[in-house]
């Protein structure tokens, strides 16, 4: 994700690959060498740093990313211990990561300025001084012929920036803080970023927007590979947005063979569960709105769902109670393979948070992002050009596969509603990004969306641009469209599993 941060993306993905190699070969003593190998491979620098002020800091940061990729906690800067501290516990197949999921490596944080306005050297000291004239707090003065903003008086209203005829006033925001739709990024006493975990919903937008790579989430690559090596049957359930993530050679026809080379026992599409989720939400909407609820929100994005219930408790009942596609698919596969372990492979960090809930952990054993899975492919040196076509059964609908892109969930639910209750008009409002989702709910409070179906997605463009994706969202959207055309089933109501929906909803409750 976010290829404009190419160097950071490369390091992050290299860490996943090296941790996967470590898990597969079992030579855990080699872990101490990885920071040296990764950074030395960047260039022959004779000990010179490439990204930071020192090679030692670069290695220290990579070391903490390695620990997080194994599922271990970040060490403090004053802690004297090897990178491998705790790795014995991490090797158990039953281990789940310990909170927090999203972490800031404090000595990697650059203590970026928070919300502030300042005058750049573009200022020409114009005679009119419009910036000074519009400031409601007299925070702007003229110093040596140029405007100067007193930060102690400034209230960040931005009026000075709006009126400057030269565009000389700049609004600076901390990138991670700007990306967070929950206002969960705060500052410690040293001005470095810290996460308020009471607010965080683990959407992952901060970690892909930090230009210093100081934020990372914990991974379960290590534990998944340990489980595969234990010869237990392990089944992968793939989120609809997987198409195109690993290049053109890995598609619906070859994904089963590709995952088999990693040791997985089988592969299923999560869009199977998306069909069931669609049916449940369509029935709920027709039954509840507007007689009992003014509107109904979709349930599949955990960050959106938690945000809505946390910040708008009065709307708690308005968010659909339908189980997410991940959970429904996992329950279906566990019903078929009771002894099997289930690994959800998808685009986002929030699914890791969802899977950690007590009500879900018995269904979903592990969660991997597309980036993490690519690390496994690279560790095993899987040649995608040699993959054999073993098409998955067409058990899912075009509507279910559409969950991968913004607007897809609402479209699927509306399509099902029209079949269940022909002639009923279903109004829809969709929002992507938690800032926009909050605006949508603010407007809902005013009654603007009474009778509506609201679709909320924490990530811009929907799941296609989650924090753990590899391919650009517009490309994913196009390939999802192709996958929708390839399936003979068009409506979620055509799912062969719909008769099992009630049982799946009740299982584990």
Predicted confidence at residue 3, as pLDDT, reads 58
The answer, yes or no, to whether the previous bond of 140 is cis (omega within 30 of 0) is no
Pairing label, strands 140-143, 341-346: unpaired
Statement to judge: residues 8 and 101 lie in one domain: yes
- Neighbouring residues of 480: CB distance < 8 A, sequence distance ≥ 6: 240, 241, 243, 401, 402, 404, 405, 408, 464
Predicted confidence at residue 92, as pLDDT, reads 75
Statement to judge: residues 103 and 189 lie in one domain: yes
In which band, very low, low, confident or very high, does the pLDDT at 2 lie, cut at 50, 70 and 90? Answer: low
Statement to judge: residues 105 and 140 lie in one domain: no
Predicted confidence at residue 50, as pLDDT, reads 81
Statement to judge: residues 241 and 326 lie in one domain: yes
Residue whose C-alpha is closest to residue 154's, from 193, 115, 123: 115
Percentage of residues in the chain having pLDDT higher than 70 = 96
Reported as a single tens digit per residue, the pLDDT across 450-491 is 999 999 999 999 999 999 999 999 999 999 999 999 999 999
User: Rounded CA gap, 167 and 161, in Å?
Assistant: 7
Instruction: Provide the token pair at 453.
Output: 């179906």
Q: Is the pLDDT of residue 44 over 90?
A: no
Statement to judge: residues 394 and 269 lie in one domain: yes
Domain contains 259: yes
Last residue of a domain, one of 151, 172, 193: 172
User: Rounded CA gap, 251 and 138, in Å?
Assistant: 61
Range of the domain at 130: 116-172
Q: Is the pLDDT of residue 154 over 80?
A: yes
User: Rounded CA gap, 97 and 86, in Å?
Assistant: 12
In which band, very low, low, confident or very high, does the pLDDT at 94 lie, cut at 50, 70 and 90? Answer: low
Domain count, the chain: 3
Statement to judge: residues 350 and 304 lie in one domain: yes
Helical segments of 135-254, H only: 159-163, 175-179, 205-209, 221-229
Handedness of CA 111, 115, 121, 125 (dihedral sign): negative
Instruction: Provide the token pair at 423.
Output: 């002639």
pTM: 0.93
Q: Is the pLDDT of residue 48 over 80?
A: no
Statement to judge: residues 364 and 490 lie in one domain: yes
DSSP string, 388-440: PP-PPP--S-HHHHGGGSTTHHHHHHHHHHHHHSTT---EEEEEESHHHHHHH
CA 441: distance to chain centroid? 21
Residue whose C-alpha is closest to residue 304's, from 172, 125, 430: 430
Domain contains 227: no
Statement to judge: residues 19 and 88 lie in one domain: yes
Q: Is the pLDDT of residue 509 over 50?
A: no
Residue whose C-alpha is closest to residue 184's, from 307, 304, 300, 1: 307
Looking at the DSSP bridge assignments, the partners of residue 147 are 142
DSSP assignment letter at 322:
P
Statement to judge: residues 336 and 198 lie in one domain: no
Statement to judge: residues 349 and 217 lie in one domain: no
Q: Is the pLDDT of residue 231 over 50?
A: yes
Instruction: Provide the token pair at 247.
Output: 């290049």
Residue whose C-alpha is closest to residue 345's, from 486, 213, 250, 277: 250
Spell 50-69 as b/e; 16+ CB within 10 A means b.
Answer: eebeebeebbbbbbbbbbbb
Q: Which CATH number fits the domain that encloses residue 30?
A: 3.30.70.20
Q: Is the pLDDT of residue 45 over 60?
A: no
DSSP assignment letter at 487:
-
Domain contains 207: yes
Reported as a single tens digit per residue, the pLDDT across 368-421 is 999 999 999 999 999 999 999 988 877 899 999 999 999 999 999 999 999 999
């Amino acid at each position: 994700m976010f290829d404009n941060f190419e160097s950071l993306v490369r390091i992050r993905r290299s860490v996943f690959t090296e941790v996967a190699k470590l898990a597969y070969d079992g030579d855990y003593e080699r872990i101490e060498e990885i920071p040296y190998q990764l950074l030395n491979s960047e260039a022959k620098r004779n000990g010179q740093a490439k990204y930071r002020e020192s090679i030692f800091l670069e290695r220290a940061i990579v070391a903490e990313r390695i620990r997080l990729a194994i599922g271990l906690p970040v060490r403090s800067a004053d802690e004297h211990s090897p990178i491998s501290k705790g790795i014995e516990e991490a090797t158990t197949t039953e281990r789940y990561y310990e909170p927090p999921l999203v972490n800031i490596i404090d000595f990697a944080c650059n203590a970026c300025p928070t919300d502030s306005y300042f005058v750049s050297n573009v200022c020409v000291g114009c005679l009119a001084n419009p910036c000074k004239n519009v400031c409601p707090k007299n925070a702007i003065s003229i110093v040596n012929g140029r405007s100067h903003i007193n930060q102690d008086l400034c209230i960040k209203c931005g009026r000075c920036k709006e009126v400057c005829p030269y565009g000389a006033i700049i609004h600076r925001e901390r990138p991670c803080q700007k990306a967070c739709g929950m206002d969960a990024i705060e500052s410690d006493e040293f001005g470095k970023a810290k996460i308020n975990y009471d607010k965080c919903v683990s959407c992952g937008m901060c970690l892909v927007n930090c230009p210093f790579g100081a934020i990372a989430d914990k991974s379960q690559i290590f534990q998944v590979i340990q489980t595969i090596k234990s010869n237990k049957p392990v089944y992968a359930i793939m989120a609809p947005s997987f198409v195109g993530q690993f290049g053109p050679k890995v598609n619906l026809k070859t994904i089963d063979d590709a995952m088999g080379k990693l040791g997985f026992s089988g592969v299923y599409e999560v869009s199977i569960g998306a069909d069931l989720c669609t049916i449940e939400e369509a029935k709920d909407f027709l039954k509840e709105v507007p007689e009992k609820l003014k509107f109904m929100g979709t349930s599949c994005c955990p960050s959106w769902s938690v945000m809505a219930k946390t910040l708008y408790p009065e709307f708690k009942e308005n968010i659909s109670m339908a189980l997410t596609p991940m959970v429904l698919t996992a329950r279906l596969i566990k019903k078929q393979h009771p002894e099997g372990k289930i690994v959800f492979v998808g685009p986002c960090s929030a699914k890791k948070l969802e899977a950690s809930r007590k009500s879900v952990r018995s269904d979903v054993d592990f969660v991997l992002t597309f980036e993490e899975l690519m690390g496994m492919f690279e560790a095993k040196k899987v040649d995608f050009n040699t993959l054999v076509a073993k098409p998955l059964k067409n058990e899912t609908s075009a509507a279910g596969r559409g969950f991968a892109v913004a607007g897809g969930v609402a479209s699927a639910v509306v399509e099902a509603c029209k079949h269940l209750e022909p002639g009923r008009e279903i109004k829809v409002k969709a929002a992507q990004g938690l800032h926009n989702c909050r605006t949508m709910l603010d407007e809902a409070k005013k009654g603007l969306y009474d009778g509506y179906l609201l679709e909320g997605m924490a990530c811009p463009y929907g799941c296609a641009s989650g924090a753990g994706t590899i391919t650009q969202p517009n490309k994913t959207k196009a390939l999802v469209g192709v996958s929708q055309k390839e399936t003979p089933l068009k409506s979620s109501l055509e799912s062969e599993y719909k008769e099992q929906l009630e049982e799946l909803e009740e299982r584990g409750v």
